[in-house]
Amino acid sequence: MTIHVGLIGLGTVGQGLLTLLDRNKDYIQNKLGEAIQVDQILVRNLEKKRDNLPKNVLLTDSFNDFTKNSNLDIIIEVAGGIHPAKEWLQWALENGRSVVTANKDLIASHGSELIALAKQEKVGLAYEAAVAGGIPIIANLTDYYATDQIHSLAGIVNGTTNYMLSQMSQKGWDYEQALTKAQELGFAEADPKNDVEGIDAAYKAIILARLVFGLDLSLADFPIEGITAVHPTDLATVEQLNGKIKLIFAINQTQNGVSVSVRPHFLHQDNLLASVENENNAILINSQSLNNSLLFGPGAGALPTAQAVLADVLTTAERRFYPALPRQGEWQFQHETTQSHLFLLTTEQGEALFNQLLINQALIDHTVWVPEQKQLAIFTKAISQQDFEAVRDQLQSTNTGVKEYPIYK
Ligand SMILES: NC(=O)C1=CN([C@@H]2O[C@H](COP(=O)(O)OP(=O)(O)OC[C@H]3O[C@@H](n4cnc5c(N)ncnc54)[C@H](OP(=O)(O)O)[C@@H]3O)[C@@H](O)[C@H]2O)C=CC1
Ligand SMILES: N[C@@H](CC=O)C(=O)O
């Protein structure tokens, strides 16, 4: 017996998957009692050179041709984007095929209806690789944490930007150089704007907020800021302050509801997340029974991501469809939380300005002049959004080059 697979997409992740299927074929045969065979692959450009194609595979650029094979058991989608991926997956589910996908754009934007469709058709829809690449976060949340109450999730879920920030601060690379290398290494999205503007991390936060708190959010619902404004000078300054800047997603449950955000944050170097470098991701989970736990590992790249896809393929082949369904609850969405902030002021005036600042001293914890970068760092106390805006407006009215980073504790 054979499990027949149709693969959509043969880029970084698709090629990684073919490597892992080949490398693990004996294990798969032993575990499932049958082989997994990739019958056909849908790509966009038939002219591209492809290595190590499976024997007798149909390589096509026509979805119409792709649908003609009625033997397919599982469709694996590793192409990306929202359309036509949504239509491909709908076709698969409506025709009784289980789906495995790495597509966070699609699962964030249309996950609810696709999950409902999969449920209705009694087939699988697995998307482990859509969040944090090789880290098994979806399986852990749906399985291991099923009986725990999760209070918050936070961390680093974009490998490209974490890689860029690491290289910019460790090797002094500029932004373009770091992005180009991240693309060459296969970490970045087809349109890297999604990575650097925080959209990719926001899609992942939407998927997690749905899974854990049953919220159906869209990108317009919460603050999203990427790393495009993070200057190498800021990275050098925060190093002098014994800290790091990291792109952090945060989902917090408070008495007033659940807040979600994606923003560059200042982290003190002894924070666990500060040591997460390069394409690694990490997710801190705070829950009733475990208190704090951390999942860490590579969040992007061919083999880590393909490993997550392959794990989903195996559970799907065994018809162990993960109940990766939103939890039911009474959670409300809330806009902002109270946070401390770090402001970085680029100034030639140094300590003179330090004493002249018109800002409300009651809200300021302390300030540090960093002579090497000619930057003044102003640390606030924990302040509300309203107080924060007042401080920021006052700073901006008398200074140019004001950068702000919430402090992640
Ligand atoms: N790269 C990574 O580290 C990770 C990626 N992901 C997700 O996995 C998915 C794939 O990523 P990745 O492998 O990096 O992407 P790539 O850009 O490397 O590969 C995309 C593949 O999909 C094919 N494709 C794209 N659009 C179409 C279309 N309209 N019709 C037919 N084929 C199409 C491309 O064809 P062709 O080869 O002809 O151009 C290519 O083979 C994305 O959803 C991404 O977000 C998730 C986690 C990590
Ligand atoms: N572009 C993404 C790939 C994995 O999801 C990232 O850099 O994290």
Report the amino acid identity of residue 150. Answer: I
Digit-coded pLDDT (tens) for 157-202: 999 999 999 999 999 999 999 999 999 999 999 999 999 999 999 9
Confidence class for position 329, pLDDT limits 50, 70, 90: low
Residue 204 is among the residues annotated as catalytic for this protein:
yes
User: Residue 392: what pLDDT?
Assistant: 83
The arithmetic mean of pLDDT across residues 299-326, rounded, is 89
User: Residue 364: what pLDDT?
Assistant: 83
Q: Which is the closest atom of ligand 1 to the Cα of 308?
A: 47
User: Residue 337: what pLDDT?
Assistant: 57
| CB of 308 sitting under 6 A from ligand 1 | no
| CB of 82 sitting under 6 A from ligand 1 | no
State the distance from the centre of ligand 2 to the C-alpha of 378, rounded, in angstroms.
32
State the distance from the centre of ligand 1 to the C-alpha of 125, rounded, in angstroms.
18
Rg over alpha carbons for the chain, rounded to the nearest Å, is 23
d(CA 111, CA 104): 9
User: Residue 267: what pLDDT?
Assistant: 95
ipTM, 2 decimals? 0.99
Q: Which is the closest atom of ligand 2 to the Cα of 161?
A: 7
Length of the chain: 409
Instruction: Single out the catalytic residue among 68, 104, 181, 204.
Output: 204
Pocket test for ligand 2, best of 78, 105, 164, 189 (most atoms within 8 A of CB): 189
Backbone dihedral angles phi then psi of residue 217, each to the nearest 5 degrees? -100, 160
| CB of 155 sitting under 6 A from ligand 1 | no
Q: Which is the closest atom of ligand 2 to the Cα of 162?
A: 7
d(CA 258, CA 334): 5
State the distance from the centre of ligand 2 to the C-alpha of 377, rounded, in angstroms.
31
Query: Tokens for 203?
Result: 């899609």
State the distance from the centre of ligand 2 to the C-alpha of 327, rounded, in angstroms.
25
| CB of 258 sitting under 6 A from ligand 1 | no
Q: Which residues contact 26 (CB under 8 A, 6 or more apart)?
A: none
Other C-beta atoms lying within 10 Å of the C-beta of residue 280: 22
State the distance from the centre of ligand 2 to the C-alpha of 188, rounded, in angstroms.
6
Q: Which is the closest atom of ligand 1 to the Cα of 9?
A: 22
Q: Which is the closest atom of ligand 2 to the Cα of 102?
A: 5
Higher pLDDT: 197 or 346? It is 197
State the distance from the centre of ligand 1 to the C-alpha of 90, rounded, in angstroms.
18
User: Residue 359: what pLDDT?
Assistant: 62
Closest CA to 190 of 401, 9, 377: 9
User: Residue 358: what pLDDT?
Assistant: 57
Pocket test for ligand 2, best of 131, 200, 203, 262 (most atoms within 8 A of CB): 200
Higher pLDDT: 150 or 324? It is 150
Ligand (nearest to CA of 302): 1
Token match 């499990």: residue?
Answer: 3
The arithmetic mean of pLDDT across residues 331-359, rounded, is 65
Confidence class for position 351, pLDDT limits 50, 70, 90: low
Digit-coded pLDDT (tens) for 217-276: 999 999 999 999 999 999 999 999 999 999 999 999 887 789 999 999 999 999 999 999
Closest CA to 358 of 316, 332, 392, 401: 392
Binding-site residues, ligand 2, Cβ < 6 A: 133, 158-160, 187-189, 195, 200, 299-300
Q: Give this prediction's pTM.
A: 0.96
| CB of 13 sitting under 6 A from ligand 1 | yes
Pocket test for ligand 1, best of 75, 204, 305 (most atoms within 8 A of CB): 305
Closest CA to 208 of 334, 78, 333, 326: 326
- Please tell me the least confidently modeled range out of 136-140, 278-282, 356-360: 356-360
Cα 394 versus chain centre, distance: 34
Has residue 326 got a pLDDT over 70?
no
User: Residue 352: what pLDDT?
Assistant: 55
Q: Which is the closest atom of ligand 2 to the Cα of 187?
A: 7
d(CA 207, CA 201): 10
The arithmetic mean of pLDDT across residues 47-74, rounded, is 95
Has residue 323 got a pLDDT over 60?
no
d(CA 39, CA 57): 5
| CB of 304 sitting under 6 A from ligand 1 | no
> Cα dihedral angle (13, 250, 115, 255), rounded to 10 degrees?
170
Q: Which residues contact 352 (CB under 8 A, 6 or more apart)?
A: none
* For ligand 1, atom 27: residue with the closest CA: 44
| CB of 297 sitting under 6 A from ligand 1 | no
d(CA 282, CA 132): 8
Has residue 107 got a pLDDT over 80?
yes
- Please tell me the least confidently modeled range out of 20-24, 62-66, 267-271, 398-402: 398-402
User: Residue 51: what pLDDT?
Assistant: 87
Confidence class for position 341, pLDDT limits 50, 70, 90: confident
Higher pLDDT: 265 or 349? It is 265
Has residue 338 got a pLDDT over 90?
no
User: Residue 349: what pLDDT?
Assistant: 62
Convert the chain into a string of H (helix), E (strand) and C (coil).
Answer: CEEEEEEECCCHHHHHHHHHHHHCHHHHHHHHCCEEEEEEEECCCCCCCCCCCCCCCEEECCHHHHCCCCCCCEEEECCCCCCCHHHHHHHHHHCCCEEEECCHHHHHHHHHHHHHHHHHHCCCEECHHHCCCCCCHHHHHHCHHHHCCEEEEEEECCHHHHHHHHHHHHHCCCHHHHHHHHHHCCCCCCCCHHHHCCHHHHHHHHHHHHHHHCCCCCHHHCCECCCCCCCHHHHHHHHHCCEEEEEEEEEEEECCEEEEEEEEEEEECCCHHHHCCCCEEEEEEEECCCEEEEEEEECCCHHHHHHHHHHHHHHHHCCCCCCCCCCCCCCCECCCCCECEEEEEECCCCHHHHHHCCCCHHHEEEEEEEHHHCEEEEEECCECHHHHHHHHHHHHHHCCCEEEEEEEC
| CB of 16 sitting under 6 A from ligand 1 | no
Mean pLDDT of the chain: 92
Closest CA to 250 of 159, 338, 121, 328: 338
